[in-house]
Amino acid sequence: MARVDEEDRVDAMAETPRIAATFAPSLLRTCAAFLRRDALIDASYRANWIFRVVAIFFSLWSLFFLGRAFGGASPFLSRFDGDYFGFALIGVAFTVMTGGALSGVARRVRELQLLGGLEAIFAAPVAPIRLVLMLALYPSLLSLVQAGLFLCFGAWVFGAAASLAGANLLAAALIAFLTLAAHLALGVLSASLVLVFKRGDPLAWLLGSLTYLLSGVVYPVEVLPSALRPLSLLLPATHALEGLRGALLLSATWGALARPIGVLLLFCVALWPAAALCLRLALKKALRDGSLGQP
C-alpha cells in the first residue's frame, strides 16, 4: 500500500511539466488540470482525511464543553445570548476556511521547489499571478469544504442549529468570499517570500498567531486591553468575524453589515496590487539569481 501511494504521488508530480507545456486557453480547463494534479497528490495520503474528520470532532467537543462551562458567564457575550459555543464555532470555522488561502500557496510553492517542477510551471506563457492562483485553488477549496463540515457538524451534531436559525446566508456568503480574497492576497505575499528565501512560511504563521490573539477567534475583541484593540482593526480577520457572526448568529441586515463588508472590500483593493507586485519582484529576483529551481 505504501508503494502504491508513493507511485501515485510521483505520477501526480510528473504532471506538473505537462500542465505547463499544454496550457489550455480555457480558464476552466486550466483550473481542472491543477485541481486534478493536487487532488492526486492529496489522494496519495488517504489517511489524512480520517485525521481531518477526527480533528474536527475533537475541536468541536472542546468548544462544546467550554460552552457548557462558561456560556452565559461573560457579559461580553450578552448580544449573542451567552452562546459561547456558537460564538467560538464561527471563529474556529473561520480559521479553517482561511487556512488554505493563507498558507496553501506558499506550501505548494515550497513543495515544487523541493520536488521539482517550479521552473516548468513559471515557464508557461501565463501571468505569474494566475499561476499562483491555480496553485492556491485546491488548498482553498479543501479548506472551504472542511469549514463547511465544521459548521454542519456543529449545527446538527452539537446542537448549534438553533443559534444559526434565521441566518442571513447571502450576506454571509459575500463576507466569506471577500474574506477568502483578502487572505489569498496575503497567501501570495507569503509565497513571494518563499520564492526568495526558500524557507518555510513565517508570514502565514505570524498572521495566524496575530489573528488568534487579536481578532476575536475564541473570545470577544472587547476583552482585549484598550491598547491592543486598535491593532485588531488592522487585521481583515477582525472585520470578517464581526460580519460573519452578525450574519449567522444575529441575522443582521445588509445595512448593519455594510461596515465590515466595506472594510473587507478595502482590504482586497489594497492587498491585491501589493501581492501582485511582490510576486513579480520575487520571481524576477529568483530568475536573475538562477535560483528558481533550486530547493
Is residue 246, in this structure, part of any structural domain at all?
yes
Evaluate if residue 7 carries a pLDDT over 70.
no
Give the pLDDT score at 23: 42
The more confidently predicted of residues 1 and 66 is: 66
Q: For residue range 168-192, what is the model confidence (pLDDT) as tens digits?
A: 999 999 999 999 999 999 999 988 8
The more confidently predicted of residues 76 and 116 is: 76
CA 172 to each of CA 30, 215, 258: distance values in angstroms, whole numbers, following the listed order: 29, 18, 12
Amino acid at 132: V
In the block, residue with C-alpha cell 452565559: 72
Is residue 278, in this structure, part of any structural domain at all?
yes
Is there a contact between 257 and 239 (Cβ–Cβ < 8 Å)?
Answer: no
In the block, residue with C-alpha cell 488548498: 139
Give the pLDDT score at 114: 77
Position 200 confidence tier, pLDDT thresholds 50, 70, 90? low
Q: Is 87 exposed, middle or buried (0-12, 13-18, 19+ CB in 10 A)?
A: buried
Q: For residue range 64-74, what is the model confidence (pLDDT) as tens digits?
A: 888 888 766 67
Q: What is the CA radius of gyration of the chain?
A: 20
Evaluate if residue 290 carries a pLDDT over 50.
yes
Q: For residue range 144-155, what is the model confidence (pLDDT) as tens digits?
A: 999 999 999 998
User: What are the grid coordinates assigned to 59, written together?
Assistant: 475541536
Is residue 294, in this structure, part of any structural domain at all?
no
Give the pLDDT score at 173: 94
Is residue 165, in this structure, part of any structural domain at all?
yes
Is residue 128, in this structure, part of any structural domain at all?
yes
Residue among 13, 68, 83 at smallest CA distance from 44: 13
How far apart CA 85 and CA 245 sit, in angstroms, is 12
Give the pLDDT score at 81: 79
Is residue 187, in this structure, part of any structural domain at all?
yes
Q: For residue range 208-246, what is the model confidence (pLDDT) as tens digits?
A: 899 999 999 999 999 999 999 999 999 999 999 999 999
Provide the residue range defining the domain that includes 120: 54-289
Give the pLDDT score at 26: 65
Evaluate if residue 156 carries a pLDDT over 60.
yes
User: What are the grid coordinates assigned to 38, written together?
Assistant: 493536487
The CA angle 31-32-33, to the nearest 5 degrees, is 90
Total domains in the chain come to: 1
Residue among 178, 210, 206 at smallest CA distance from 190: 206
Position 247 confidence tier, pLDDT thresholds 50, 70, 90? very high
Is residue 45, in this structure, part of any structural domain at all?
no
In the block, residue with C-alpha cell 498572521: 207
Q: Does the pTM exceed 0.95?
A: no
The full 3-state SS of 106-162, as one line of letters, equals HHHHHHHHHHCCHHHHHCCCCCHHHHHHHHHHHHHHHHHHHHHHHHHHHHHCCCCHH
Which span out of 13-22, 78-87, 242-251 was modeled with the highest average pLDDT?
Answer: 242-251
Percent of the chain with pLDDT over 90: 35
- Picking from 85-99, 113-127, 198-212, which range would have the lowest pLDDT averaged per residue? 113-127
Give the pLDDT score at 205: 85
Which backbone phi and psi does 20 adopt, to 5 degrees?
Answer: -70, -35
Alpha helices by DSSP H, listed for 157-235, are 161-164, 169-197, 202-214, 229-232
Give the pLDDT score at 21: 44
Is residue 63, in this structure, part of any structural domain at all?
yes
Q: What average pLDDT does this structure show over 134-146?
A: 87
